[in-house]
Amino acid sequence: MNERKLSIAPSFSIRVPEKDDLERKVCDHCGIVQYENPKIVVGSVATWEDRILLCRRAIEPRDGYWTLPAGYLELNESPEQGALREAWEEARARLVIEQLLATYAITRISQVQLIYRARLASPEIAAGPESREVGLFTWDQIPKDEIAFPSVHWALEHFRDTADQSVFAPMARSDDGDGGL
């Protein structure tokens, strides 16, 4: 006998689930809540001697602007592993993570960023698939008018503020829902 499974297409409504006080997406068939959570970004301010690694983006958003090696944390990956992977993907750079530099909350796009202070294991770098070019810049050489995102400015400033400290409390900043690219 041929059995057919009845497949019900998912259908969600926005409502306040039982024992909750926030509106959420709730499955109309089974009541399961589909939580929507912030994205986690990991990256680093990585140096070789007195120079900072920057990558010129080859993708949107902000194609052509300079950024730190950073990107979304993958499933089953620690933040440190993610920062190391992103440095490799974007700049073919091998890093040694020193410590957490800062956490940034970009509330307007539901993003939390964990930025590490790191050093390059060697000065060997090359553009990865998401970068047009990469470079090592002294502080005065950083193309400050061509920086992709406000959080890159924040990280560079926080790096500069802690550069002479071997241990420090991580910095924090939020866009408080304001700001733009």
Q: What structural domains does the chain harbor?
A: 39-174 (3.90.79.10)
Q: What is the pTM of this model?
A: 0.86
Q: Say what the pLDDT of residue 9 is.
A: 79
The dihedral over CA atoms of 166, 43, 85, 62, expressed in degrees to the nearest 10, equals -150
Those residues with Cβ within 8 angstroms of residue 144's Cβ, 6 or more apart along the chain or in another chain: 153
Q: Say what the pLDDT of residue 181 is.
A: 38
Alpha-carbon span 18 to 51, nearest angstrom? 54
46 CB burial (10 A radius; 0-12, 13-18, 19+)? buried
Q: Say what the pLDDT of residue 5 is.
A: 66
Please report, as a single letter, which amino acid is at residue 72: Y
The residues that bridge with 119 in the sheet, in sequence order, are: 47, 96
Alpha helix positions (H), the chain = 79-91, 150-162
pLDDT (tens, 9 = 90+) of the chain, 181 residues, equals 566 666 677 899 999 998 899 999 999 988 899 988 999 999 999 999 999 999 999 999 999 999 999 999 999 999 999 999 999 999 999 999 999 999 999 999 999 999 999 999 999 999 999 999 999 999 999 999 999 999 999 999 999 999 999 999 999 999 985 444 3
